[in-house]
A = this chain, B = another copy of it.
Amino acid sequence: MTTTRGRGRPRDPETDTAILNAALELFVERGVEGTSIEQVAKRAGVGKLTVYRRWSTKEDLLAQAIERWVSDEVTPSAADVYALPPQAIVEHILPAAAEMAASPDFRALVARIMGSAVSHPSLMAVYWRHYILPRRELAAAMLRRAQQDGMVAPDADLDVLIDMMAGAVTYRVLQPDPPDAAEMLRYLTAVYRQAGLYPPAQQTHP
């Protein structure tokens, strides 16, 4: 590593990165039950207190490590969501979202997160509150706009519709024969289209 270490009080971004990377690796390898702050510190090459100074619980650390990996690219900005039509936003995020959703790391993460949801619900609770709920609020804003445009039924349950979109992707990547990036692009387009956030494949003129 080429970092300048040991500066004491001010947080060193490279130390944070090393800790978050180590946490994500251990989580994917061993799950939440098999990961401890001590192991993360050891793998990151830092002291246990260095980790605890930044994250008070294992769940906070893992949730941030997961979120950091789910790149900013695939989450539209709130400004875009409130300014642009849904189709423009979907088109903008689709390529990076397909790339990410088709990666083996994403599959492994989804399996670990889902797999720990019942045996160790505190991770899902922290991740949900801090990271998923804000993203769902953006998705709901897109869907409300699509309702105004007549693309989504006025009586649609938007929480259910968001679950159908997110649930389809997480379910699909855990099935046998997971899609590559090109197939995932087609798949995501079909999901957004079915939800009403993307126009029909073709206007047929018989």
**Which residues of A are at the interface with B, using a C-beta cutoff of 8 A?**
31, 104, 107-108, 110-112, 114-119, 121, 124-125, 128-129, 153, 155-157, 160-161, 163-172, 174-176, 187, 190-191, 194-195, 200-202
Shortest CB-to-CB span from A73 to chain B, Å, is 22
CA distance A91 to B172 in the complex (A): 27
Q: Hey, which chain B residues are within 8 Å of A176, CB to CB? A: 121, 124-125, 128-129
Residue in chain B with minimal CB distance to A174? B117
| Interchain residue pairs with CB less than 8 A apart (17) | A31-B115, A110-B114, A111-B115, A111-B118, A114-B114, A114-B174, A121-B176, A153-B200, A155-B200, A157-B190, A160-B168, A163-B167, A163-B172, A164-B194, A167-B168, A167-B172, A171-B171
Contact status of A161 and B194, CB under 8 A, knowing A153-B200, A174-B117, A175-B128: yes
Partner of A166, one of B157, B171, B200: B171
Contact status of A169 and B167, CB under 8 A, knowing A117-B111, A117-B174: yes
